[in-house]
Amino acid sequence: MREIKLKALAKINLGLDVLRKREDGYHEVRMIMQTIHMYDQIMLTQTSEPGIKVQTNVDFLPVNEDNLVYKAAKLLMDEFRITDGVNIWLRKFIPTAAGMAGGSSDAAAVLVGVNRMFQLGLSKEDLMKRAVTIGADVPYCVMRGTALAEGIGEILTPLPAIPPCYILIVKPPVSVSTKFVYTNLKANELKVHPDIDGQIAAIREGNLEQMCRCMGNVLETVTIPAYPIIGRIRDEMIACGALNAMMSGSGPTVFGIFDDREKAEAAAGKLRGEGGTGQVFLTTAFHTS
């Protein structure tokens, strides 16, 4: 019996632009993705009994083929005709339905783990090619780090690590449907777009303040009117000294970037002290090297 333990890291979007709605119904995006030090824990156990079994610490998640970790394991085990089984223990810490790619990151970790456990010999690029069949964010979650994502999110260009900073995460007590956000986004009528190219240039120059000035997320045009608490948290982070703050992904998670730890901790304490704000975390960016 072999066991492998993995960390599935969350992500935020430093910039999120939607260029257009395509004829096939998908949205064409340009996003700056950033992995952060917040993670789910996954343990894979090889068994002689065939099949995939999933267990988790949260009762609202499916433990069958509707769970992305099950799909990830099945994808490789079917392709390579693996006759042994695998038990997957998923311990969730990343908030769910939060715009932080928790489910996608879990799936990515299982792809990495099954590849390692059964010695399949697949490279990171091999895994990323397969990952897109599970979800648009899964290839990025295999890659990790700082990256430009284009297409539907699957065309990835690695970027240099962002400068050191403190990232304050607040997940308000509301659930936001990604489908609701994209259905109500008037992508072809957007007048204001974040400066993704300017943000890339700032990252390459190591200019944290300029990187933050270029932050923007067009999905806020849908989510904040529907859930005003998102805008209130964003504005409060900025009032507390964040270089900038915005919603991650389709929400509802809000993050603020600070260049001063004391200011970040004070902001975290203030937001924790306010009733109804939700879950509050202070963390840092994950770098691949």
pLDDT for the residue 153: 86
Answer with the residue of higher pLDDT: 192 or 119. 119
Q: Are 110 and 73 in contact (CB under 8 A)?
A: yes
pLDDT for the residue 289: 65
Name the token pair of 147. 């990256």
pLDDT for the residue 154: 86
Name the token pair of 163. 């400068």
> Can you name the residues that pair with 257 across neighbouring β-strands?
167, 244
> In this model, does residue 161 exceed pLDDT 70?
yes
Tell me the DSSP string of 16-54.
EEEEEE-TTSPEEEEEEEEEEEEEEEEEEEEESS-EEEE
- 11 carries an active-site annotation: yes
Angle (nearest 5°) at CA 244 between 178 and 252? 20
Cα–Cα dist 253/269, whole Å: 17
Least confident window among 39-48, 53-62, 268-277: 268-277
Entry field: residues in the chain: 289
Tens-place pLDDT, residues 228-280 = 999 999 999 999 999 999 999 999 999 999 999 999 999 999 999 887 788 99
Mean local confidence (pLDDT), 139-145: 97
Task: Give the predicted TM-score (pTM) of the model.
Answer: 0.94
pLDDT for the residue 286: 95
Answer with the residue of higher pLDDT: 22 or 145. 145
Burial 19-35 (b: 16+ CB within 10 A, else e): beeeeeeebebbbbbbb
Catalytically annotated residue among 17, 92, 137, 171: 137
Catalytically annotated residue among 11, 74, 92, 171: 11
pLDDT for the residue 1: 58
Tell me the DSSP string of 110-158.
HHHHHHHHTT----HHHHHHHHTTT-TTHHHHHH-SEEEEEETTTEEEE
- 84 carries an active-site annotation: no
Q: Are 133 and 214 in contact (CB under 8 A)?
A: no
| Nearest alpha carbon to residue 158 among 146, 167, 141 | 146
Cα–Cα dist 148/121, whole Å: 27
pLDDT for the residue 274: 82
Mean of the per-residue pLDDT values of the chain: 94
